[in-house]
Chains A and B, each alone.
Chain A
Amino acid sequence: MTDKELIKAIKNNDQQAFKQFVENNQQLVVNICNGFLHNIADAEDITQDVFIEVFLSINKFKEDAKLSTWLYRIAVNKSLNHIRDNKKHKILNSIDNIKDPDKKMEKELPDVNNSQPEKIIEEKERSQILQYSINSLAKNQKIAFTLNKYDELSYKKIAEIMDISLSSVESLIHRAKKNLQRKLFKFYKKN
């Protein structure tokens, strides 16, 4: 089924076509959301919202545009809005909660059975520092970097989703990496 046929089918309330569309794209949408949210349950919730929005607003969609680009754009926007509106993510974005080992890490201690608890704590902490650093990038750098790194989307696809030129994507990702490295160095020097 081409995009055009698919859109027409969804507009005609063809449930089977919509189901197929969800199943073909859910994997990538969940991963896009998780790239921003770093929480699988949240990513799945937002993924549901994304497909519901597609279904409800399919009539506004221009048939000559690319359906997947539109879908991924909705996924990015919904994820960013969720971060903006959600307290849990705000806490995560606060630097104090990352580097206070007694406060945060103890609660999330891994099972006793695990053979390498220290390694897991270290990894968890690393992951939080990385998330904090990525989240503190300028918005467009963050979007481009996340789509490229977490979702392995091509620069061309990212350019389509963000509606900017290919060279802008290159420049955004270059600056994102440079800034990210600087932010990470700061953490290492502090500790």
Chain B
Amino acid sequence: MKCKKVNKNLIFYIDGDLSLKQNKEIEEHLSHCKKCSMLYNEIKLSLSVIENEKGIETNPYLYTRIKQRLEDINERSTNPVFAIQQKKLFQPVLVSFLIALGIFIGVSIGNNYPLQENNIADTPSEQYYINDLQQEHVEYFLLNNE
């Protein structure tokens, strides 16, 4: 057997997945090829760490904890119904209140500012004036650059 073929089969050799004949061939190769037997050792060591993680003992309080959590879930599943019912009642009340508040504010603003048509007409022209200045400034800047 050549190194390449041995390398390909090392993990199966370690796991005992190969035929007797293949097993013997690999064994024979490993006995004289240092490179392959080094790889074999590495793979074997790596796979052996799996053994350390096997067979964990379970926590003796596992069932108690599960039971506690199920009781909590039960309690919460009764509370949310109450919370939702509260919400259902509360939402229309809140919406009506907000609408009423909106109307009230609208009416009071209307009352506090009696019609002043001059004021409203004047404001835009002031804004145009400011805008003209800004545009001029930009053009001036561009001209300077040229």
Q: Which residues on A are within 8 Å of B, measured CB to CB? A: 15, 19, 22-23, 26-27, 30-31, 34-35, 38, 40, 43-44, 47-48, 51-52, 55-56, 123, 126-127, 129-130, 149-150, 152, 177-178, 180-181, 184-185, 188
Asked if A31 and B54 make an inter-chain contact with CB atoms under 8 angstroms apart, the answer reads yes
Are the CB atoms of B47 and A130 closer together than 8 Å?
A: yes
Identify 22 residue pairs between A and B in the complex whose beta-carbon atoms are under 8 Å apart, listed by A's number: A22-B62, A23-B63, A27-B56, A27-B57, A30-B58, A30-B62, A38-B53, A40-B56, A44-B62, A47-B58, A47-B62, A48-B65, A51-B66, A127-B49, A178-B8, A178-B11, A181-B8, A181-B10, A181-B43, A184-B42, A185-B7, A188-B39
Tell whether, in the assembled complex, residue B54 and residue A48 are in contact, meaning their CB atoms are under 8 Å apart.
no
Q: How far is the CA of A15 from the CA of B17 in the complex (A)?
A: 45
Q: State the B residues within 8 Å of A (CB).
A: 7-8, 10-12, 15, 17, 39, 42-43, 45-47, 49-50, 52-59, 62-63, 65-67, 69-70, 73
Q: How far is the CB of B66 from chain A (nearest CB, A)?
A: 5
A56 to B69, CA, bound (A): 12
Task: Provide the bound-state CA to CA distance between A154 and B45, in Å.
Answer: 24
Interchain nearest-CB distance for B105 vs A (Å): 47
- Of the candidates A27, A127, A178, the one whose C-beta lies within 8 Å of that of B52 is A127
Instruction: Looking at the assembled complex, report how far the CB atom of B21 sits from the nearest CB atom of chain A, in whole angstroms.
Output: 19
Give Cα distance in the complex from A80 to B47, angstroms: 21
Across the interface, do A149 and B62 meet the contact criterion of CB distance under 8 Å? no
Query: How far, in whole Å, are A130 and B48 apart by their CA atoms in the complex?
Result: 10
Residues on the A chain within 8 Å of B69, using CB: 48, 52
CB contacts between A and B, total, < 8 Å: 79
- Cβ A130 vs Cβ B73 within 8 A: no
Task: Tell me the smallest distance from the CB of A131 to a CB of chain B, in Å.
Answer: 9
Q: Are B52 and A123 in contact (CB under 8 A)?
A: yes
Contact partners of A150 in chain B: CB under 8 A: 50, 53-54
Q: Which residue of A lies closest to B12 (CB)?
A: A177
Known interface pairs A184-B42, A184-B43. Does A44 touch B58 (Cβ–Cβ under 8 Å)? yes
Which residues does chain A contribute within 8 Å of B39, judged by CB atoms?
A: 185, 188
Assess A31 versus B55: contact at CB under 8 Å? Given A178-B11, A181-B10: yes
Let me know if A126 and B49 touch, CB within 8 A.
yes
A48 touches B66 (CB 8 A): yes
Which one of B49, B55, B70 has the highest number of Cβ atoms from chain A below 10 Å of its Cβ?
B49
Chain A residues, Cβ within 8 Å of B66: 22, 48, 51-52, 55
CB atoms of B56 and A31 under 8 A apart: yes
CA distance A34 to B54 in the complex (A): 9
Partner of B56, one of A30, A51, A180: A30
List chain A residues, Cβ under 8 A from B59. 44
- Contacts A35-B53, A180-B11, A181-B11 given: A130-B62 contact, CB under 8 Å? no
